[in-house]
C-alpha cells in the first residue's frame, strides 16, 4: 500500500467514526456518554497504534466506568510500563480528536514520517 492509499483509508475510517462532540482528555483519561464512545474509541485505537509504532512497544487502551454513572464511560491510553501517559500528551490527544478526517490522516502521516516528531518530547 502506498502512503497516499493508507492516508485515504484512514481518512475514510475517521469520517465514519468521529466523536460526536468536543472531548477533553485529562490525567484520568477521557469521560463521555457511552453513546459517544464509538468514535472516541476508534480514534484512541488509532492513537495507540501511532504511539506503539513510534515507540516500538505495546500501548494499551483502557475503557473504564467503575466509578462513573452507568450511562458514562471513561477511556485512556496506557504506556508500555502500565502507567498513564505524561500530561504533555493531553493537548495532543485533544488536537487529534478534534481533527477533521482529512486533517487527521495528515496528522498521523506527519507524526509517523517525522523522526523528530512531537512524540520525541513526550516520552
Amino acid 53: pLDDT: 76
Identify whether 119 is part of a domain. no
Poorest-pLDDT segment among 7-21, 36-50, 61-75, 109-123: 109-123
Contacts of 108 (CB under 8 A, 6+ apart): 7, 10, 46, 50
Interval 63-120: pLDDT, tens: 876 676 766 677 888 888 888 877 777 788 888 887 877 787 777 777 664 444 555 5
Domain that holds residue 20: 3-113
Identify whether 74 is part of a domain. yes
Domain count for the chain, please give it.
1
Q: Catalytic site residues?
A: 66
Amino acid 94: pLDDT: 80
For strands 25-26 and 60-64, give the pairing: unpaired
- Cell 456518554, residue? 33
CATH number at residue 40: 3.40.120.10
Amino acid at each position: 500500500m502506498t502512503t497516499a492509499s493508507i492516508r485515504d483509508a484512514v481518512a475514510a475510517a475517521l469520517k465514519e467514526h468521529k466523536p460526536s462532540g468536543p472531548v477533553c482528555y485529562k490525567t484520568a483519561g477521557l469521560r463521555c456518554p457511552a453513546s459517544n464512545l464509538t468514535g472516541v474509541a476508534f480514534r484512541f485505537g488509532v492513537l495507540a497504534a501511532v504511539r506503539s509504532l513510534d515507540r516500538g512497544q505495546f500501548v494499551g487502551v483502557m475503557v473504564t466506568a467503575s466509578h462513573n454513572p452507568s450511562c458514562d464511560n471513561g477511556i485512556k491510553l496506557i504506556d508500555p510500563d502500565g502507567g498513564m501517559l505524561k500530561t504533555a500528551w493531553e493537548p495532543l490527544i485533544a488536537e487529534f480528536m478534534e481533527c477533521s478526517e482529512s486533517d487527521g490522516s495528515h496528522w498521523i502521516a506527519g507524526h509517523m514520517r517525522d523522526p523528530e516528531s512531537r512524540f520525541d518530547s513526550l516520552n
